[in-house]
Amino acid sequence: MNILGIESSCDDTSISIVKDGKEILSNVTFSQIKKHEKYFGVVPEIASREHLKIIDFVFNEAIKSSGLKPSELDAIAVTSYPGLIGSLIIGVNFAKGLSICLNKPLISVNHLLAHVYSAFINNNIKFPILALIISGGHTAIIKMENFFNFEIIGKTIDDATGEAFDKISKYFELGYPGGPIIEKLSKIGNENAYSFPIPLNNLKKYGLNFSFSGIKTAVMYHRKKFRNRYINTDKYKIFLNPKNEVESILNQKDYNFYKNIIKKQEYLKNIKKLDENENLFDIAASFQKAIADSLYIKLKFALQINHFIKTIIIAGGVSANNKIRNTILNLSKIGYDVFFPPLELCMDNGAMVAGIAYHYYQQKIYSDLNLNPYSRISSLKRGSMI
């Protein structure tokens, strides 16, 4: 079965064709990062307009590189919730158009479950599972008996994990998306330099819900406290010294990345007079550690409550983060099977949509042309504790 999957819930327009839920025949993604980076976050109105401009092209490329004719598709799947409403509308209407003109069934997909599926493409995973979804828009622990029966047992009550990375990056004027930038800075920082609070770690009181706005505020206050001094970057200049062997492990791109950051810190030192004892690398690493520890603690607690579940999936854009992967991999040392998607499927993509839709197709779970996109699903609403 060849299923075409459309993903347009945020700032990636992605269309993929997947055979039998496993074999990716094509996966074409057009990222809008360049359009949003100057705002340090996604601007919904710009996102929907960009989807509209490019979706035709992405579709044609996906068909071309799959080697199939449109008539050889068996179904059209699309992310219809949750996400940015204007962006979802573009994907859903495009999918409806294809479904009518090719006379193929239309399949609606939940974006969070599609992220879970991204780990199934390359792995043989047995249910039941606990899935931790950590992305720019969502943070949730989902208990799944199969692709049809699931329950959200924990969620964020404020910022999503990726959003916290993006906001810290924005605060330090580092760029967008913040996750990969903070991860890179952390690589040469000391993660034990500062101890930022681990969010909602009182499990009895807060249960399985997450909160990241507290740690974000802690990082910001910490910075403000030192506002009148400067940053000493000398310690990091070894990374830029061609004679130093550390340099040889950096490729040109990373070299330029660190060089720019250090240049910026030098600039801030002169202009804003920041703290000499404080540095961005250590802050980034300590922040990243607090986030990783918080995710680990909650997941471990969720596993204790659901002691019959031995399999865990971590998916969504933030699951590309190595520190978070390694922290959660500690669960494999105590008897759990831990799965991640391949790096190229962590961010939003059409393959995960087409992949999970194969299982709906087999059960004939189709939608009709009344399918409406929704920005939220009620059980994911902010603020309600379990």
Contacts with ligand KG4 by CB under 6 A lie at 10, 135-137, 162, 165-166, 177-180, 183, 316-318, 320-321, 347-348
145 in Cβ contact with 131 (< 8 Å): no
Q: Applying CB under 5 A, which part among 134-142, 150-158, 168-176, 200-208 lies near Zn ion? A: 134-142
Tell me the residue ranges of DSSP E strands in the chain.
Answer: 2-7, 12-19, 23-31, 75-81, 106-110, 129-134, 139-144, 150-155, 311-315, 337-339
Select 21 or 177, whichever has its Cβ closest to ligand KG4: 177
Q: Applying CB under 5 A, which part among 47-55, 224-232, 297-305, 342-350 lies near Zn ion? A: 342-350
Closest CB 171 distance from Zn ion, rounded Å: 23
375 in Cβ contact with 81 (< 8 Å): yes
CA atoms within 13 A on the CB side of 240: 13
319 in Cβ contact with 229 (< 8 Å): no
Select 179 or 350, whichever has its Cβ closest to ligand KG4: 179
Q: Note whether 29 binds Zn ion by CB under 5 A.
A: no
Select 110 or 327, whichever has its Cβ closest to Zn ion: 110
Q: Which does 347 bind (CB under 5 to 8 A by kind): Zn ion, ligand KG4, none?
A: ligand KG4
Closest CB 271 distance from ligand KG4, rounded Å: 27
Helix runs in 172-251, H state only: 178-187, 203-206, 213-225, 245-248
Select 66 or 135, whichever has its Cβ closest to Zn ion: 135
Q: Which does 91 bind (CB under 5 to 8 A by kind): Zn ion, ligand KG4, none?
A: none
Give the integer Cα–Cα distance in Å for 204 and 219. Answer: 25
Using CA of residue 94, residue 152, residue 284, residue 343, what is the dihedral sign? negative
Q: Tell how strand 106-110 and strand 75-81 pair up.
A: parallel
CA-nearest of 161, 153, 192, 184 to 304 is 153
Select 63 or 134, whichever has its Cβ closest to Zn ion: 134
Closest CB 265 distance from Zn ion, rounded Å: 32
Q: Note whether 11 binds Zn ion by CB under 5 A.
A: no
- The single residue among 348, 355, 371, 373 that binds Zn ion, judged by CB under 5 A, is 348
Select 143 or 323, whichever has its Cβ closest to ligand KG4: 323
- The single residue among 135, 156, 286, 349 that binds Zn ion, judged by CB under 5 A, is 135
Q: Applying CB under 5 A, which part among 25-33, 161-169, 261-269, 344-352 lies near Zn ion? A: 344-352
Select 189 or 350, whichever has its Cβ closest to Zn ion: 350
6 in Cβ contact with 348 (< 8 Å): no
Tell me the residue ranges of DSSP E strands in 66-194.
Answer: 75-81, 106-110, 129-134, 139-144, 150-155
Helix (H) / strand (E) containing 86: helix 85-102
Q: Which does 183 bind (CB under 5 to 8 A by kind): ligand KG4, Zn ion, none?
A: ligand KG4
Q: Which does 82 bind (CB under 5 to 8 A by kind): ligand KG4, Zn ion, none?
A: none
Give the integer Cα–Cα distance in Å for 74 and 71. Answer: 8
Give the integer Cα–Cα distance in Å for 119 and 361. Answer: 19
Select 29 or 279, whichever has its Cβ closest to Zn ion: 29
For Zn ion, the binding residues (CB under 5 A) are 135, 348
